[in-house]
Amino acid sequence: MATRGRPGPRRTLSEDEILDAALVLLDEGGPAAASIRGIAAKVGVAPNAVYTYFPDKGAVVRALVEKLLGEADAGEFADEGKPWRDRVEALAVELRRRLVAHPGAAALLMSGPMDGPRATALNERLLDLLIGAGVEPADAARATYLLIVYVLGAIALEVADETGPGPLPPEDDRVARRRAGFAQIPAEVFPRSAAAAPTMSRYITTDQYLWGLHRLLDGIDPT
């Protein structure tokens, strides 16, 4: 007579609880803090309970990326009654809002391929939106990649401007600190950079982000 194996760890959590704990740890201590052991301690279970849902930290990261992308794929971007440019801008603004609020997660987003179901669905929606606006399919694919590179690249540089854990300080505070730093540029050595310092100090602002996005959209617009 065959003996029954020992039961696995009881599933006392939800995936969302685990991902929420991982996000808190990322906010508090950066990518290194969101280990399986750290997540388990955060939610008050043994590490085996987390392994019931995710085989390793990489799987947690992929699921967290999927969660953040899925949450951004909503609102005005999903409103088919809105003009295509407004929808793309809404997505770009929402992604920036969510990722700047969680710099640790933003860093992880850049560390691996975005090839999960929600990332693929987001790509599909962008392609459909651009093709529906009259962009040729091949150009729509290139434009989708260009938009993702711009959005994630701008967010990555904005997040990298801060080295401490937790949410970024208010935008005005960060601009003021950058302005003080750029004021030290020796004008006799770097005259153009010194003259551009007021503008350079605002590279991490919403205005700059939208300035670049609008120019990309101007180039993509088939009309």
Question: What pLDDT score was predicted for residue 3?
Answer: 46
DSSP letters of 49-109? HHHTT-SSHHHHHHHHHHHHHHHHSSGGGG-TTS-HHHHHHHHHHHHHHHHHT-HHHHHHH
Which residues does the chain have with pLDDT short of 70?
1-12, 111-113, 163-166
Q: What is the pLDDT of residue 100?
A: 85
Tokens coding 57 = 């930290």
What is the reported pLDDT for 167? 75
The C-alpha atoms of residue 104 and residue 32 are separated, in whole angstroms, by 9
Return the CATH architecture of domain 10-55.
Orthogonal Bundle (1.10)
pLDDT, residue 68, reads 83
Q: How many CA atoms lie within 13 A of 91 on its CB side?
A: 25
CA distance 130 to 88: 9
Same fold, 10-55 and 65-220: no
Q: What pLDDT was estimated at residue 27?
A: 82
pLDDT the model gives residue 219 = 97
pLDDT tens string 83-123: 999 999 999 999 998 888 888 777 777 766 678 888 898 89
For domain 65-220, which CATH number applies: 3.40.50.2300, 3.40.50.300, 1.10.357.10, 3.40.50.2000? 1.10.357.10
Single-letter amino acid code for the residue at 87: R
- For the question of whether the overall pTM of this predicted structure is more than 0.85, the answer is no
* Cα distances (Å, whole numbers) of residue 82 to 70, 86, 140: 19, 7, 19
pLDDT at residue 29, rounded to an integer: 80
Cα–chain-centroid distance for residue 12?
29
The confidence score (pLDDT) of residue 165 equals 67
- As given in the structure block, the two tokens for residue 70 are 């899925």
Q: Where are the domains of the chain?
A: 10-55, 65-220
